[in-house]
Amino acid sequence: MKTDYPYPLLAREGWPFIALFLGVAIVLQIFTNGWWALPFYLLFLFSLQFFRDPRRPLPALSERSVLCPADGKVIAVEQVEDPYLSRPALKISIFMNVFDVHVNRMPVGGQVRKTWYFPGKFFNAALDKASLENERNALWVKASDGSDVTVVQVAGLVARRIVCYVAADSVVTAGQRFGFIRFGSRVDTYLPLSAQPLVAIGERVRSGAQYIATLGVQQQA
């Protein structure tokens, strides 16, 4: 096991919220009887837990390991059509509620070949139609072993902003922090049909700390 995580314990996306709620709470604490400050102290505590970015030990990796890209609950493990690469694929979907860590980590290492952004609706992210109708950001990654992997950030009912820090042609590593979604959402990962899932529907998973699948051996052309 190794720790490869150069980020603080709180995601930078949360600092404006944390500072705002704490500042308002302190001002109200000073200039009122204190009860007016209570809701803002609660919002401050909620922001601390929502934007937490915990240090995670990465498991030993191989070329065919697929790391978990998000904290949450597995809501789909199924064979579908990858709508971005137009191919049959194994889809693994993870739903994040407002109490889960919302930092997204790269499931495989390789090169980002293409990105897509789609403005869309804001259905409950646990619904199947959210994958194709909600606001989303997709990355096509050519993995180190040659496999094609598509990872998609999907906004949810409350989520109103998807943040992604990698672009086409970026070289990425497995476990790398690549994005964040506010507030409640899902991540879909499309893998080759030869991939073997290591998680089941209903299972709770932790990003960067466990595998969700193993890629199959690529066929030579």
pTM: 0.81
Is 6 inside a domain boundary? no
Strand, coil or helix: 74 = strand
Residue-range definition of the domain harbouring residue 16: 12-50
Do both 39 and 111 map to the same domain?
no
Instruction: Give backbone dihedrals phi and psi of 91, rounded to 5 degrees, phi first.
Output: -105, 130
Instruction: Please state, in angstroms and rounded to a whole number, the distance separating the CA atoms of residues 179 and 105.
Output: 7
Per the annotation, the verdict on 131 as an active-site residue is no
Do both 66 and 163 map to the same domain?
yes
pLDDT digits (tens, 9 = 90+) for 79-128: 999 999 999 999 999 998 878 878 889 999 999 999 998 886 666 555 66
pLDDT of residue 127: 62
Question: Which entry of 147, 185, 194, 207 is annotated as an active-site residue?
Answer: 185
pLDDT of residue 2: 40
pLDDT digits (tens, 9 = 90+) for 21-54: 899 999 988 888 788 889 899 989 887 777 778 7
Is 2 inside a domain boundary? no
| Domains: count for the chain | 2
Helix (H) / strand (E) containing 47: helix 38-50
For residue 57, pLDDT over 90 is answered with no
Q: Strand (E) positions, 97-210?
A: 103-105, 110-118, 136-143, 148-155, 161-164, 171-172, 177-182, 185-191, 196-197, 204-205
Q: How confident is the model at residue 200 (pLDDT cuts 50, 70, 90)?
A: very high
| Contact status, residue 106 vs residue 173, Cβ threshold 8 Å | yes
Do both 26 and 78 map to the same domain?
no
Is 3 inside a domain boundary? no
pLDDT digits (tens, 9 = 90+) for 142-189: 998 899 999 999 886 655 578 888 989 999 998 888 888 876 688 999
Do both 72 and 26 map to the same domain?
no
